[in-house]
Amino acid sequence: MPRISWLLVTLIVLVSVSLRAESLADYPEDRDHRVRTIDARLQSIIDEGVRFSLTFEALVDRLDRSDLVVYVERETRPIEGIEGCLTFISSQAGTRYLRVRVAYISDRARQLAIVAHELRHAVEVADTPRIVDSRSFEREYERFGYENPYTGVRGRAFDTDAAVAAGVRVLREIRTGN
């Protein structure tokens, strides 16, 4: 009888380990995302975006297949007139690094829409391999974007219709469920 119990326990453990391995493989959270943050609130907002907005999920998926790493952080001192900003950090060993800074906004859906807007800009960079430094970043945005004069940013700030539309679409998807 003890031998049968031992065999039964072993079988149960082996089956549960194999089932666990299969189920863990099904979770997209286990893959190495190119959109990263160390801010717990922003991480939960990004996770919600991937789960509840097809547009946001598509942006993250596109970036995951790119040569970019995008760091998202909360701006501790928001700049007047700007809720989000994308900057080029560097290019090293075949990987380009970007930083997204977003102002804290208590409305989570609106905060997510701002992150989506900035991630759409990151996709624009991913789709433009000529962007390899800050100078080429500005040059290409002059070409396919437009200068945004309504910000309090020193220097030049650019925007695109695609980024504006992505933010609006994500906000609608989160608020209405479609």
Q: What is the pLDDT of residue 117?
A: 97
Please name every residue paired with 97 in a beta bridge, in sequence order, or none if there are none. Answer: 69, 90
Q: How far apart are CA 104 and CA 175, in angstroms?
A: 19
| Per-residue model confidence as pLDDT tens digits over 9-52 | 333 333 333 333 333 233 355 557 899 999 999 999 999 999 99
> Which helix (H) or strand (E) is 157 found in, with range?
none
Residue 176 has pLDDT above 60, yes or no: yes
- CB contact at 8 A, 121 and 160: yes
Residue 5 has pLDDT above 70, yes or no: no
Vertex 42, ends 121 and 48: CA angle to 5°? 85
The reported pTM is 0.80
Q: How far apart are CA 120 and CA 145, in angstroms?
A: 12
| Per-residue model confidence as pLDDT tens digits over 135-147 | 999 999 999 999 8
| Per-residue model confidence as pLDDT tens digits over 153-162 | 666 789 999 9
Average pLDDT, the chain: 84
| Per-residue model confidence as pLDDT tens digits over 56-76 | 999 999 999 999 999 999 987
**Can you tell me the mean pLDDT for 116-140?**
97
Q: How far apart are CA 16 and CA 19, in angstroms?
A: 5
CB burial readout 150-175, b (16+ within 10 A) else e: ebeeeeebbbbeebeebbebbbebbe
Three-state helix/strand/coil letters over 90-105: EEECCEEEEEEEEECC
